[in-house]
Amino acid sequence: MSNTHGAGVITALVAGALATAVLTGPACAGEVSGKYIGNGKAAKLAYAVVVPHEPWNGEPAYTLVLSEKAASGSMGADDQAMFGKLGDALTITVTKSGKIIGTQVSHAALKRSGFSTVGTIEAEGVKIEAGALSGRFYTPREQDFFGDKWELDLKAKAALPAGK
């Protein structure tokens, strides 16, 4: 008696597991490179993800989350970053046209980590195309937030949320 049916089930399970690994593995973690410095200490950002944001003045908007640790669980990556669950992190909310409408700076070396700021980070070459958000985000000079010194110059690319 042949066990080809069982082999087919095992093949399907292995294929499903590989597909899951490919979809959830590092390739979906996005790309982030550059510097993110707080009080002289460099952060090691390794993950870039995009979460949907409410439209801003009728224009689609997205929050780019750059973090040291991968998000997990049911809480959104932006909320996890805000509550310090992703280690050093930076969230940047942008409109589809590339305008920054909000940021949150979370860096372990800052005494006041987790603060919001607008107008201190600039964007260059922001694109939302081919299912991804990409661009360069930087401070034109070192910033001071109540004695905390910070600066960044990062390039990032991450997939848009499904259906967005």
Residue 3 lies in a domain: no
Residue 139 lies in a domain: yes
**pLDDT at residue 91 greater than cutoff 90:** yes
Residue 159 CB neighbour total at 10 angstroms: 17
Residue 119 lies in a domain: yes
**Closest to 81 in 3D by CA, of 99, 97, 93:** 93
Residue 154 domain boundaries? 30-159
In this structure, what are the phi and psi dihedrals at residue 160, rounded to the nearest 5 degrees? -70, 155
User: Model confidence at 75, in pLDDT bands (50, 70, 90)?
Assistant: confident
Cite the beta strand spans of 57-162 per DSSP E.
59-67, 89-95, 100-106, 115-117, 122-129, 132-138, 143-145, 148-159
Mean pLDDT of 84-90: 96
Say how many domains are in the chain. Answer: 1
Residue 6 lies in a domain: no
What's residue 24's pLDDT? 34
Residue 18 lies in a domain: no
pTM of the model: 0.81
Residue 144 lies in a domain: yes
CA dihedral 110, 145, 149, 116 (to 10 degrees): 60
Mean pLDDT of 18-22: 32
Residue 21 lies in a domain: no
Residue 4 lies in a domain: no
